[in-house]
Amino acid sequence: MVSKWLVLLTYSLLLYVGSSLFAILLKVCLVNDKFAIFTRAKFWHDWLAGVGGEFLNTWLLLSLVLLIAALFKSSGAAVAVGIIGYFVLGMVNIPMIALIRKYTWLKWNPLNMFNFSAQLGLPTLSKITKLTDVQLFWGNLAYIILFLVLGLLFFRRREV
């Protein structure tokens, strides 16, 4: 199970670093210096925060899929549940926001943590999520660790 984590971590790091470098390369090749993004600290801060937020959201989803894979005997079923769950998340988000308004303790549910990258780009979402960027960051990390540890425990108890 830990080997799956390391492979996924390597692939996701390569994906995010590679796509970021490719975006910079395209900017230099296609746009030249028409936009002075290389001297604007706010651009770099916002861009790196967005990439980091997406990376954490990806890992929250990956950790949840790995937990589901440990619960099911078929990893294909876990991947299917993860993909379907990701698309259903958009439909569940609206009723969840209404429930968070009514029951503020629900702001700590894992589905609300998927709003992290969106809130980094649009800070006014904190009024909807009822969490700050820092709280969402630590909530994401906590759920990632929790899901990975639970997945490891279920995987160890599974009969192979």
Q: Hey, what long-range contacts does 30-36 have (CB within 8 A, 24 or more apart)?
A: none
Task: Look at the chain and report how many structural domains it folds into.
Answer: 1
- The pTM (predicted TM-score) of the whole model is 0.78
Task: Tell me the residue range of the domain where 119 lies.
Answer: 2-157
Contact 62, 12 (CB under 8 A): yes
Give 20's contacts (C-beta < 8 A, 6+ positions apart).
51
Could you list the pLDDT tens digit for every one of the 160 residues in the chain? 777 788 888 888 899 899 888 887 887 777 765 666 666 677 777 778 888 888 998 899 888 888 888 887 776 777 777 778 777 777 787 888 888 888 888 889 888 888 888 888 888 888 888 889 899 999 999 999 999 999 888 888 776 5
Give, for 148, the enclosing helix (H) or strand (E).
helix 133-157
Is the alpha carbon torsion for 140, 102, 118, 45 positive or negative?
negative
